[in-house]
Structures are given as structure tokens and as C-alpha cells.
């Protein structure tokens, strides 16, 4: 099985499209005011979709965007702050081995910008004991 896409709710189509484009996602489908789909700019094929809803659904969804290095994460956060995006938390080294910064999209969905290195797939506590 291959993850095809993640679809998240949005309340303000234009604001949400602008937010995800500012993060670096590339819009590949545009069906305002109900639906937009984006690809990751890194060519990985990962996609994310927005679907307009009439009220906040409070799903508890967290969207994670991995970065190639801690320096790349920190630079991306600074570039986004320069564009006016507001972060709930600055880049922080977490006890589970990831460096994370968090913010929210216009619909209130939590977005985690992160760097995990090999710990993303091969944390020390991985069930099957495999290492990267």
C-alpha cells in the first residue's frame, strides 16, 4: 500500500491555498471554492488536498512536513515568518529525537515542520528493532 494523499478541511479556500503555497506546496488541482490539491515540491509524489467545509471540524489532524536537515528546517521557519506566518512553537529539539516547529493553517489544522533524519522511520524504539 502506498499513501496517495491526505485531505484536510478548510474554512477559507483562498487563505488555505495561500498558506500551503507559502509552505512550498505546488498546486496541481484548483476547483474553487471547494477543492485544491498540491504536490510536494521535492518530487516525492506526496500530495495534500484541501476540501472546504462549513464549520471547523476539530479533527485532531496534524500534518507533518519533513526537512532534509535541522538547518533547512530552521531556515524554512525563518522564511515563513518573514512572509508573516505565525508559529505556535519555534524549532525545538524534542525528547523523541525530532526537531519540530508548529503552526496552524487558516482552518486551525495543526502543521508540524520537522527534521527527524533516520529517526523518522527508524527510531530507537521501533517495534521490529530495525535500524536505518
CATH number at residue 64: 3.10.180.10
Angle at 77 between CA 76 and CA 83, to 5 degrees: 90
Say how many domains are in the chain: 1
- Please state, for a pLDDT cut of 70, what percent of the chain lies above it: 92
The yes-or-no verdict on residue 39 having pLDDT over 60 is: yes
Domain containing 21 equals 5-120
- Between 60 and 93, the more confident residue is 93
What would the mean pLDDT of 99-120 be, rounded to a whole number?
91
Q: Is the peptide bond prior to 33 cis by the omega test (within 30 degrees of 0)?
A: yes
Spatial separation of the C-alpha atoms in residues 128 and 116, rounded to whole Å: 19
The yes-or-no verdict on residue 58 having pLDDT over 70 is: no
Asked if residue 132 is part of any domain, the answer here is no
| Total-model pTM | 0.79
Amino acid at each position: 500500500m502506498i499513501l496517495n494523499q491526505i485531505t484536510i478541511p478548510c474554512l477559507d479556500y483562498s487563505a488555505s491555498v495561500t498558506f500551503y503555497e507559502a509552505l512550498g506546496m505546488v498546486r496541481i488541482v484548483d476547483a474553487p471554492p471547494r477543492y485544491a490539491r498540491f504536490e510536494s515540491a521535492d518530487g516525492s509524489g506526496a500530495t495534500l488536498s484541501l476540501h472546504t467545509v462549513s464549520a471547523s471540524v476539530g479533527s485532531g489532524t496534524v500534518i507533518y512536513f519533513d526537512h532534509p536537515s535541522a538547518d533547512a528546517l530552521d531556515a524554512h521557519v525563518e522564511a515563513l515568518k518573514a512572509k508573516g506566518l505565525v508559529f505556535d512553537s519555534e524549532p525545538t529539539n524534542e525528547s523523541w529525537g525530532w526537531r519540530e516547529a508548529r503552526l496552524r493553517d487558516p482552518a486551525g489544522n495543526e502543521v508540524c515542520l520537522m527534521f527527524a533524519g533516520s529517526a523518522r522511520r527508524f527510531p530507537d524504539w521501533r517495534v521490529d528493532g530495525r535500524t536505518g
